[in-house]
Amino acid sequence: NVTVTVTQLPVITSFTATPATINSGQSSTLAWAVSGATSLSINQGIGTVTGTSRAVSPTATTTYTLTATNSVGSVTANVTVTV
């Protein structure tokens, strides 16, 4: 049997919004690169996410927090979409 023990926190390599500035009614794509996570979530009512991107359409300037979690703990990164 092989036992794998996770001893490091996840690593968020990048968390970006493209475009970072939008007009009301437009969308921005949040994209991330994460390693070592077993789950990912974004605040502002988005919740658990999978994959590497998510489109958002805020009506006001909004800061999004990405949380990457594994058995060791959690790390976060922030990005702001300006409206």
- How sure is the predictor about 7, in pLDDT bands with cuts at 50, 70 and 90? confident
Tell me the average pLDDT across 2-26: 89
Half-sphere exposure (Cβ direction) of 9: Cα atoms closer than 13 Å: 9
Nearest one of 3, 2, 6, 1 to 72, comparing CA atoms: 6
Q: Would the pTM of this model clear 0.85, i.e. be above it? A: yes
Give per-residue pLDDT as tens, 21-35.
999 999 999 999 999
Mean pLDDT of the chain: 94
Dihedral, 41, 54, 8, 2 alpha carbons, nearest 10: 100
Mean pLDDT is lowest, of 1-10, 16-25, 33-42, 74-83, for: 1-10
Per the CB < 8 A criterion, the answer to whether 3 and 33 are in contact is: no
At 24, phi and psi to the nearest 5?
-55, 135
